[in-house]
Amino acid sequence: MTTLVLPQPYLLFLGDATVLGVAKTALGLKDWAPERCIGEFSVPEATITAGLPWMRPAQARDAGARSLLIGVANAGGFVAPNWIPALVEALEAGLDIVSGMHMRLAAVPELKSTAERCQRRLIDVRTPPANIPVATGLKRSGKRLLAVGTDCALGKKYTALAIARSFEARGINVDFRATGQTGIMLAGRGIAMDAVISDFEAGAAELLSPDAAADHWDVIEGQGSLFHPAYAAVSMGLLHGSQPDVIVVCHEAGRTSMLAWPDFALPTLEETIDLNLRIGRRTNPRIRCAGISLNTSHLSEEAARDLMAQESARLKLSVADPMRGGPQFERLLDACLADW
Amino acid sequence: MTTLVLPQPYLLFLGDATVLGVAKTALGLKDWAPERCIGEFSVPEATITAGLPWMRPAQARDAGARSLLIGVANAGGFVAPNWIPALVEALEAGLDIVSGMHMRLAAVPELKSTAERCQRRLIDVRTPPANIPVATGLKRSGKRLLAVGTDCALGKKYTALAIARSFEARGINVDFRATGQTGIMLAGRGIAMDAVISDFEAGAAELLSPDAAADHWDVIEGQGSLFHPAYAAVSMGLLHGSQPDVIVVCHEAGRTSMLAWPDFALPTLEETIDLNLRIGRRTNPRIRCAGISLNTSHLSEEAARDLMAQESARLKLSVADPMRGGPQFERLLDACLADW
């Protein structure tokens, strides 16, 4: 009973992609986890590259690759027929296959039979581990930080990644804990929290950041929002089970309603802090908010700096955009680590 | 895409039970849904009865039964080998089998093959319907009441059942909406909310109480508690997706810590009301608390009456024990229906 661990490094598979947009997963991996990527592979119809050396599976295997990772998405989230010979070649070369697509790999008969014959694994990152226990609520040792949010898709994953890297740069013993498929591919391990059965949601979060040394930090990728009309159950279980000592609230500057739910106003930052602390206190009475991670990607450097200063003064909290870094982000990191 | 609907009426199966305690499900059905129970059936080793006419499956089928319902639980939650001939007899007599056990019926090869041969269904009540959609958050028509709680296992199901019956007795157009296995068996339909994948928890709750006439009430069985360290994700999704107009907070008199979680103090009634209203407001701004359902089963009649009066004065809300009924319960019903 453990979190999913992916065989690495990866050979990134770009399929038959002809536009960069569909290869988001591969590009994210190359940017955020280059040390896990040996090369790229694609079928002849493909016209794009992730900028890594192109190699066949057998070559990649010789160079150390342990899996082929499907780094491309098509509209239906399915294995395209013209990918199958390439995927079979990977299995035959001794690579496992890693996928975050909706369609399960084993649902393709040719992949299923080849994997069985070659004794390779077909790994669907969306599938949580079996036999997740019910949460115990018992306090675990070590420190934990959870990135929470006013909404989905505004930077919780990259906030957690950036904080984990910066902690590491400061010499802190830290693990990034991935809770979604892209995060799992980046980290090479994790649990797809949104795919866990509700009764075991908090239990899965407990499994994800186990007991650790007193000075060890788990920096946990958040999911959804307690205010989300569809996904709050995921956020609730993750918050209870993570037992965070520190939360960082993620928000996108200027977003006023829930993404794709225009009838639902975004909660204020104050409401978001307050509700997360109130609920989080149930499993960790010492929980506190260290500050705000503000996604300012659509603002100019100057407008971003002004807004962060303004919000910081208003909330009396550190406000930073981890993608911009700078002294604001260093202050946010200081606030995360204060008191320990 | 719909909630699970069970074939009825049932022939209750008591297995080889020799103590009444293990036949809780059958006894609950006989008490709360006698109109759905044609008779009882058991293997020769059984020594108990639910008080219904004993009949063989073929007889029950002739009398109108549509399924054999396993109304008995053993420690492991599994199909005992000495039940199998009886279950095969039921399938061959034209009955489906309904089970709330942990073990899936189709995991018993003899049941699987017999069901296929006889074209009968093996229905695991714990299995939620396939293809539950993501919640939309769109406000649905009709009125909804949700029984919430300070903890698990303190009367949410029976509170919702009692309120639904009393509404019906007052001539109100009402449906009891079951969210757990026993409730589903009693109602003949529902969704096992704790078995739904977290991402779809609120969506399942939306499915459970669809659009209805403006004067129709759905009285929804609650699950868990927002304060439960393991199960709050279930309560969260159910609250958001149910969009209740009214909550009734269920509590057991004298319970001070979470059942089987002794390190977690029970929340106060005020905290429970406040957090449920705060979160429920997200999908229904008109949500209000009508009062408290107090489980006083271990108190004397007099002590119960005194405590209810005391709590009612303190909270300025109706407080009643639905199992005792009386004027207190009538006042709680009035409060539920006020303003409509």
- CA atoms of A281 and B242, how far apart (whole Å): 26
Q: Which residues of A touch B268 (CB under 8 A)?
A: none
Could you tell me the pTM of the whole model? 0.95
For A143-337, give the CATH class: alpha beta
Q: Is B136's CB within 8 Å of A279's CB?
A: no
Q: Which residues of B touch A134 (CB under 8 A)?
A: 230
The pLDDT tens digits for B74-119 are 777 889 999 999 999 999 999 999 999 888 999 999 999 999 999 9
Query: Measured between CB atoms, does A140 come within 8 Å of chain B?
Result: no
Give the CATH number of domain B4-124; options: 3.30.200.20, 3.40.50.2300, 3.40.50.920, 3.40.50.720. Answer: 3.40.50.720
The pLDDT tens digits for A237-261 are 999 999 999 999 999 999 999 998 9
Q: Is A195's CB within 8 Å of B194's CB?
A: no
Q: Which residues of B touch A260 (CB under 8 A)?
A: none
* Neighbour count for residue B148 (Cβ, 10 Å): 31
Q: Which residues of B touch A197 (CB under 8 A)?
A: 194-198
Query: Measured between CB atoms, does A118 come within 8 Å of chain B?
Result: no
Burial B44-63 (b: 16+ CB within 10 A, else e): eebebbbebeebebebbbee
- CA atoms of B137 and B281, how far apart (whole Å): 12
- Name the residue in chain B with its Cα closest to that of A195: B197
- CA atoms of B114 and B119, how far apart (whole Å): 8
CA A90, A92, A98, A102 dihedral sign is positive
Q: Domain segments of chain B: what residues?
A: 4-124, 143-337
CB B90 within 8 A of CB B114: no
Q: Which residues of A touch B198 (CB under 8 A)?
A: 193-198, 201, 231, 233-234, 237
Residue of B228, B236, B261 to mutate when probing chain A, most A C-beta within 10 A: B236
Q: Is B137's CB within 8 Å of A234's CB?
A: no
Q: Do domains A4-124 and A143-337 have the same CATH topology?
A: yes
Query: Measured between CB atoms, does B13 come within 8 Å of chain A?
Result: no
3-class SS of residue A115: helix
Q: Which percentage of chain A shows pLDDT scores above 90?
A: 92
CB B299 within 8 A of CB B257: no
Q: What are phi and psi of B275, to 5 degrees?
A: -70, -40
Beta-carbon-side half-sphere exposure of residue A177 (alpha carbons within 13 Å): 28
CB A270 within 8 A of CB A319: no
Per-residue pLDDT of chain B (340 residues; tens, 9 = 90+): 467 899 999 999 999 999 988 898 899 999 999 999 999 999 999 999 999 999 999 999 999 999 999 999 877 788 999 999 999 999 999 999 999 988 899 999 999 999 999 999 999 999 998 889 999 999 999 999 999 999 999 999 999 999 999 999 999 999 999 999 999 999 999 999 999 999 999 999 999 999 999 999 999 999 999 999 999 999 999 999 999 999 999 999 999 999 989 999 999 999 999 999 999 999 999 999 999 999 999 999 999 999 999 999 999 999 999 999 999 999 999 999 997 5
Query: Measured between CB atoms, does A135 come within 8 Å of chain B?
Result: yes
List the 227-266 stretch of A: residues with Cβ below 8 A of B. 227, 229-234, 236-237, 240, 261, 263-264
- Name the residue in chain B with its Cα closest to that of A281: B227
- CA atoms of B236 and B201, how far apart (whole Å): 8
Q: Is A264's CB within 8 Å of B227's CB?
A: no
